[in-house]
A and B are shown apart, each in its own frame.
Chain A
Amino acid sequence: MPTGGKKNPVESFEHETVTVKSTISGRDWELPGMWNRMFEQRVIFDYDTAVMEKIVELEGGESLDWCYGCGKCIPVCPVDIVGEYGPRKVHRKVQTGVDLFNDPDLWLCTTCMNCLRVCPKEVDMIQIMPAVREVAVSEGNVPSELQDVFQNTFRYGNALGESPRKRHAWTKGAGVDVKVLPSDPSPVDVLFYVEDYWSYHPRGHDAAQACARIFAALGIDYGILGPEEKTLGDSQRLAGEKGLFEALMEDVVATLDKYEFKRIVTPDPHGFNALVKVYPTYGHEYEVLHYTQLLAPLVDKIEWKSEANYKVTFHDPCYLGRHNGEYDAPRTLLQAIPGVELVEMGRCRENGYCCGGGGGAMWLDSFTGNHTVERLSERRVKEAAEAGADVLAVCCPYEVSRFEDAAKSTGNETLLVKDIVELMDEAMGNGSQA
């Protein structure tokens, strides 16, 4: 009979290999550590409640021990499909004494919110994960790649560590004038908050330039903050850097105070979420639209010049759809484009599958890769290909690069990934590919 009484830490052999003699050929086989889990401690010797108590004491962590184990979250958790992780499992692990503050599970959640959508007990991972991560961050327990992003954001005001002076470099290739408010501070209708990935990523530039041409064609009175724009930092907040988020907010609010505008429009659902849901809790209220919401009511005014003959499927960004309830504006735009045939993937709208970039996971690709068999973006790209689409349309700046990489790595190179504005721009005849 085994004896208990002391908690023996589970020893993981995951990264080691083991040699096993084949019973068929007699040859030695090197097996990776994942086959080696059977050598882990099997018996649970203790239910150390200290970690659970610490978590439910945190502001935001309260609901973790509400879980009654129904498991509804598991089939809709985008991570569990590619790895051993899911909200119910997190609850159980913590209940058995696993220290979530020091566990890889802490960084696998993309805060996509599909679990909360189906949870009968309203166990809220969108609150729990940032709360626990905040403690981990304060204790220095952060995957290094994420720590780099925090430092970049702190130092440069953007996640990519680029120079603020280059923030509006994309405007040069737009082919239309873009008003940069620090140079021309006259009042505008729309303050266009470009955010990091349209400002700095080469594929983001394509979308930003397409968007500028559409705005020009529609006569939208707008301006950008250019070198004064800093990221809104919502994903940094969800990754545990609430302090950084608050510091950014102070700067952002001070900058916004300098200019006259009626509303803020952003292409980034993450920044959108911060402005719509988080800023007001600090007393900062603005009228905010996602760019699809600005453009959708204007589609009848668009003069289309050519057809964009594609079978298009649309990926709902978690932070535009589930988090903020906007499913129709992007579809209105796509369906207005001549030539576009819209086909839906199995998981769409409320049940849309996460691209893997939310909640800081955008910056944890290597880390997450060590704990999953496949990237979420790869999973999603396969689904788009299965739907028979030529184009995977997106409207979140994180997604173009994620899905293009995934299309290549899964052998779906023929699947094009385009922002909705790129497709619109093309059919409006003023795009680079027109």
Chain B
Amino acid sequence: MSSDRVVVVGGGPGGIEAARGVAGLGLEVTIVEKLERLGGTPISENYAALTPNFEDAEAAMDRMIEAMLALPGVDVRTSSTVSACEGESGDFKVTISGAAGDETIDAGAVILATGFQHFDPGRETQMYGYYEHPDVIALQDLEAMLKDHNVVRPSNGEAPKRVCFVQCVGSRDRHIGNEYCSKVCCGVASKEAIEIRKLLPDCKVFIFYIDMRMYGYWENQIYWPAQEEHHVQYVKGIITEVLKKDGRLLVRGEDTTMGRPMEVLMDLVVLSVGMEPSRGTREMAGVLGIQQNKYGFIEAANPPLDTVTTSREGIYACGAALGPADLEDTISSAGAAAMKAVSLLRSGKTAAASS
């Protein structure tokens, strides 16, 4: 028996947009979210404002959720996970596990939108002392402070006078195994740098980078204003290690364009951590039986011209489950996944229909 329902796994921006797309095209959709609340990483990791437009993250997500719920045929399952997916395209039996137990529903297609997780900077060979020094934090830790409008040194609760960002933590690193660029961290760090400068005008902010990777309009939406209007100081050269000194943090690296070593004291060090596949992405790859690439992200079947089709017919993926993606990428690929899922079900060419 064929089903026209689409199951979307993951209730972040990608999942919400995919569900909205499917419902908007007139099919029924079930969106499954592991956490109690929809909204995904921007909500669960306490993002303050979105990159690049500084919109309040919570308000933006709520706006998306409202638009989705306003459509007919949207079934929301929070505090739930997908634990099994049997069958074939057009006729999947998807088991949803929630507090009330397991329920198996019929679905014609599945869209995976389980996203990424922040690289754990305490892992492996990094020498930034993320777990040793309270004043070494990561991008999302700063987001949480920005959301509270209270940026302080965790060690003593005082406002920092000097903050630096260290780019490419957990990205572009053969040693760690993440050879890819995480795409968003240059922009997010610059956005947060602007927010610090606005919140604490006396605080000096530095960004230590290998090369600034600002895609498209982010260049003049974030990078140039950070430099030209907010006087964030960009220094080419990455930090090798962070040491404790006199109650502050000594960052050591090379100032590459001066060709000299540097050892500069900071009050707060923000690690611009990259993206790794989320636990949900890794687990769901197994549950759904779809191929992952060497980094654990979902492998797109035929890139670059088809970025959302996975190795199993009828199952699509979108957003950062496919690899590093900013919000714009995520929203675009979610739309593409919804379109492909609905096309498949409307075409009558599913495996179930052909058998």
Residues of A within 8 A of B (CB): 1-5, 42-47, 49, 52-53, 56, 63, 65-66, 68-69, 88, 92-93, 95-96, 121
A69 touches B263 (CB 8 A): no
B228 touches A66 (CB 8 A): yes
- Across the interface, A46 reaches (CB within 8 A) one of B236, B245, B264, namely B264
In the assembled complex, the Cα of A98 lies from the Cα of B204 at a distance in Å of: 17
Whether B307 is near chain A, meaning CB under 8 Å from some CB there, is no
In the assembled complex, the Cα of A44 lies from the Cα of B212 at a distance in Å of: 22
- Nearest A-chain residue to B205, judged by Cβ: A49
B255 touches A44 (CB 8 A): yes
B204 touches A96 (CB 8 A): no
In the assembled complex, the Cα of A103 lies from the Cα of B246 at a distance in Å of: 32
Nearest CB of B to A343, in Å: 39
In the assembled complex, the Cα of A411 lies from the Cα of B232 at a distance in Å of: 50
- Across the interface, B258 reaches (CB within 8 A) one of A44, A53, A56, A66, namely A44
Whether B71 is near chain A, meaning CB under 8 Å from some CB there, is no
Interface residues in B192-238 (C-beta closer than 8 Å to A): 204, 206, 212, 223-224, 227-228, 231, 233-236
Q: Known: A65-B228, A96-B255. Contact between A47 and B261, CB under 8 A?
A: no
B231 touches A56 (CB 8 A): yes
B245 touches A95 (CB 8 A): no
- Across the interface, A44 reaches (CB within 8 A) one of B231, B233, B236, B263, namely B263
In the assembled complex, the Cα of A68 lies from the Cα of B212 at a distance in Å of: 9
A4 touches B255 (CB 8 A): no
B234 touches A68 (CB 8 A): yes
Whether B354 is near chain A, meaning CB under 8 Å from some CB there, is no
Q: Known: A43-B260, A96-B258. Contact between A3 and B228, CB under 8 A?
A: no
A95 touches B233 (CB 8 A): yes
Contact with A along B252-270 (1 / 0, CB 8 A): 0001011011111100000
Whether B159 is near chain A, meaning CB under 8 Å from some CB there, is no
- Chain B residues, CB < 8 A from A92: 257-258
15 new A-B pairs (CB below 8 Å) besides A5-B246, A5-B265, A88-B257?
Answer: A2-B263, A4-B245, A42-B260, A44-B260, A46-B264, A49-B233, A52-B233, A65-B231, A66-B224, A68-B212, A68-B223, A92-B257, A93-B258, A95-B235, A121-B224
Q: Known: A47-B235, A92-B257, A95-B233. Contact between A68 and B227, CB under 8 A?
A: yes
- Listed residue (A44, A53, A92, A121) with the most chain B CB atoms within 10 angstroms of its CB: A44
Whether B250 is near chain A, meaning CB under 8 Å from some CB there, is yes
Interface size class of B (residues with CB under 8 A): 20 to 34
Nearest CB of A to B354, in Å: 56
- Across the interface, A4 reaches (CB within 8 A) one of B212, B231, B264, namely B264
Nearest CB of B to A2, in Å: 7
In the assembled complex, the Cα of A2 lies from the Cα of B262 at a distance in Å of: 10
Nearest CB of A to B222, in Å: 13
In the assembled complex, the Cα of A42 lies from the Cα of B255 at a distance in Å of: 11
- Nearest A-chain residue to B254, judged by Cβ: A44
Q: Known: A5-B245, A47-B206. Contact between A52 and B231, CB under 8 A?
A: yes
B260 touches A66 (CB 8 A): no
- Listed residue (B231, B255, B264) with the most chain A CB atoms within 10 angstroms of its CB: B264
- Across the interface, A42 reaches (CB within 8 A) one of B236, B245, B261, namely B261
Query: Could you pull out 22 A-B pairs where Cβ atoms are within 8 angstroms?
Result: A1-B243, A2-B263, A3-B250, A3-B263, A4-B263, A5-B245, A5-B246, A5-B250, A5-B265, A43-B262, A44-B255, A44-B258, A49-B204, A52-B231, A65-B227, A65-B228, A65-B233, A69-B234, A92-B257, A93-B258, A95-B235, A96-B255
Nearest CB of B to A99, in Å: 16
8 nearest interchain CB pairs?
Answer: A4-B263, A44-B262, A43-B261, A66-B228, A49-B204, A44-B255, A92-B257, A44-B260
- Nearest B-chain residue to A3, judged by Cβ: B245
Nearest CB of A to B272, in Å: 18
- Chain B residues, CB < 8 A from A45: 262-264
In the assembled complex, the Cα of A66 lies from the Cα of B235 at a distance in Å of: 13
In the assembled complex, the Cα of A245 lies from the Cα of B265 at a distance in Å of: 44
A47 touches B236 (CB 8 A): no
In the assembled complex, the Cα of A45 lies from the Cα of B236 at a distance in Å of: 16
- Chain A residues, CB < 8 A from B265: 4-5, 46
- Chain B residues, CB < 8 A from A65: 227-228, 231, 233
B236 touches A69 (CB 8 A): yes
- Nearest A-chain residue to B255, judged by Cβ: A44
In the assembled complex, the Cα of A88 lies from the Cα of B258 at a distance in Å of: 11
- Chain A residues, CB < 8 A from B255: 44, 96
In the assembled complex, the Cα of A4 lies from the Cα of B223 at a distance in Å of: 30
A47 touches B227 (CB 8 A): no
Q: Known: A65-B233, A69-B257. Contact between A47 and B228, CB under 8 A?
A: no
In the assembled complex, the Cα of A2 lies from the Cα of B241 at a distance in Å of: 13
Nearest CB of B to A100, in Å: 15
- Chain A residues, CB < 8 A from B260: 42-44
In the assembled complex, the Cα of A5 lies from the Cα of B206 at a distance in Å of: 17
In the assembled complex, the Cα of A143 lies from the Cα of B245 at a distance in Å of: 41
In the assembled complex, the Cα of A65 lies from the Cα of B234 at a distance in Å of: 9
Contact with A along B136-165 (1 / 0, CB 8 A): 000000000000000000000000000000
B245 touches A47 (CB 8 A): no
- Nearest A-chain residue to B233, judged by Cβ: A95
- Nearest A-chain residue to B262, judged by Cβ: A44
In the assembled complex, the Cα of A65 lies from the Cα of B233 at a distance in Å of: 8
In the assembled complex, the Cα of A42 lies from the Cα of B204 at a distance in Å of: 23
- Chain B residues, CB < 8 A from A5: 245-246, 250, 265
In the assembled complex, the Cα of A42 lies from the Cα of B262 at a distance in Å of: 8
- Chain B residues, CB < 8 A from A44: 255, 258, 260-264
Nearest CB of A to B1, in Å: 60
